[in-house]
Structures are given as structure tokens and as C-alpha cells.
Structure 1
């Protein structure tokens, strides 16, 4: 007997039915293709990269600061506006992005380095401490260096004193010039003042 809610003769089997075995087969096929692709990409053995090292040169960010440069579209990359990376052969527009680039993975890979840092041994750390101790030792500079520094300091102090004296003289001159009122010669003549020069009669 048909229920009163569902009308007679309606097909309720419209939902799509999935075959799990078919999808398992598709997944196996896809994995096989991925494996073949990765084999074709890696022709040789994996590349062994050196651990990350600190730079042994100073990064030049200020040599072209404040300079004017004509930029043309046909100019080579090294002469275009911005910072040129000769390793990756690219131009970066500002110093912050340039630093990010040279510290980044792509640049380090081009240099043949991985992003991993080599672990230092105890002996290497101790040697580094010794080098730093010698550099900061108080007796590391000679007596001649000390004499030179004292002489330079005395010269600078003498120069500062001379400049102070010059400034005081300038201020005195300005003060005297302000205190002396300028007298118009015609007014002085009318009031009976002669010349304020010498009293000798010619």
C-alpha cells in the first residue's frame, strides 16, 4: 500500500551512485603519472649544497645614494634603476627588498648553498672567543697609536677654543655696532657738530 505523502509512480533513485573501486583505480593512475614526472625531472643524483656561510664582503647600499641617473629601456640590467644582483641577473627596486633577496632561498641556491647553518664544534667556538679576546685586549694598540690619538684630540680642542674666541669677537663687534647710533651728517651740521675726527687745524 502506497503512503499518503509520496505520490504514486515517482522515481526516487535520482541520486548519483559512486563506485569506490573506480575512484581507487583513478588515484592509482594519478600516482603513477606523478612518479613518472618526478623521475623525468630529476635526471641526475640530488645536488649536495654547502651549509650557509656569512658574507666576507660589505653589502654596498649607499654608493649610488643621492645620484642622478638617466634610465633608458634599452640599457642593460646592471645600469637600470635599482639594485642589480649579478648572481641571479635581476634588478630589485629598493634596499629593503634587495637585502631580502640576497638573504633569500633563491639567491643562496644560486650560490650553491642550502638554508641550513653548519653546527659549530666546541673547538671552533673556543677559537672564536680567543680571536675576539685578542681584538678587545687593552694592550693591543701601540704607544705610538696612543700618542697620535692624544695629539689629534689636543688639536681638535685647540680648534674648538679658537672658534669660540672668534664667535665672542663677532658678538662684541655686533653689540658695539648696535649701540652706536648712526648720525646723519646734515643733522650733525645743523646741530653744530663738526667732524668727530682730529682737532688739528690744517
Structure 2
């Protein structure tokens, strides 16, 4: 398991810190098919990030009920904005654990800075605050994360598994997951159809 705190605490910044990884059409790992991954930390020891465009079957209300943040009879009273908050598959590691990427206008002692403007919090407190409309102004809730050991992600990039580009905060928090892959490619000026055609030639 890659530990975000240990990756961050060493003060190293890898070249993938704060970058998007965009899966190439030939990505062999089905966990990352057409995925966009935001890298929170990268160093010589490995990398950790979150898939930001894969929907989770569970709803935010399911999460609130499971954590006993609200009672069954209160679920119907939640505003639509809260009920429709999307949950994402953050990656194949620790899929039962929740992580919230969010703006730094909400902080607790357990919040870890991942960029100048974003933090990561993985405690129930932030879920409770979000359910009451007192959470961060922007947030993305993921179950699970993506982790790579030392040198692993560098090898995958060298083998044409990923494209990389600077992360776009608006795209991270955007609730429209279905076309996020294409929009991430558009940040690089790439037409998805052209990418697929190029990948077909070997």
C-alpha cells in the first residue's frame, strides 16, 4: 500500500505531482480503461492518485446511511444537491474506504494538503459536514484509490500506457463523469477518435 502521508512528508515532488494521467486506448488493466487519474503524490517511493471519472453504484445517501450519519426517515428530507452528489471509483486499492478531495476552505486535523488549493480528507467528519451543507465549496468523494510502487508508474508511461498533462481543478470536481475522459484529452488538444486510430496501428 502506498501511503500518502509518507509520500508527502518527505518533501519530495515527483514530476507527476498534480498531473492527470489519461489512459491510452491500449491500456491493459481493465481497472483503468478510459480513466483519468489525478496524481496526489509522486516520489521515488511510488505514486498515489484517484480515478476521477468512473461512477460508483452507491449513492451519497447510501454512504450517509451506512455510516449512520442520518437515519432512514431523514434521507428523503435531504436536498437534491446532496442526494445527487456522485460517488466515484477512486481506484482498485482499499475500495471500501472513502476519500474526499476538496478545496482548502474546509480543514480538519486529518486533512492532508495535496496542492496549493486542494486537500484530502478521509474521515467521517467531512461526510457529516457535507450532508449538512457545511462542507467544502467543492469536493469529490471516491471509494478506493490508485497506488503504484517505486518506478511502476514511470514504466507504464514509458510503455505508452498513459498520457500526462497538468491537472485541471474544474475537471476534478465537475460532476459530469460520462464525457470527462474526452474533455481531459481536449485539455491536450487531442481528439479521442484520432487517438484510437493511432493506437490501432502497430
Q: TM-score if structure 1 supplies the norm length?
A: 0.22
Q: TM-score if structure 2 supplies the norm length?
A: 0.22
Higher helix proportion: 1
Higher relative CO (CA 8 A, sep ≥ 6), structure 1 or 2? 2
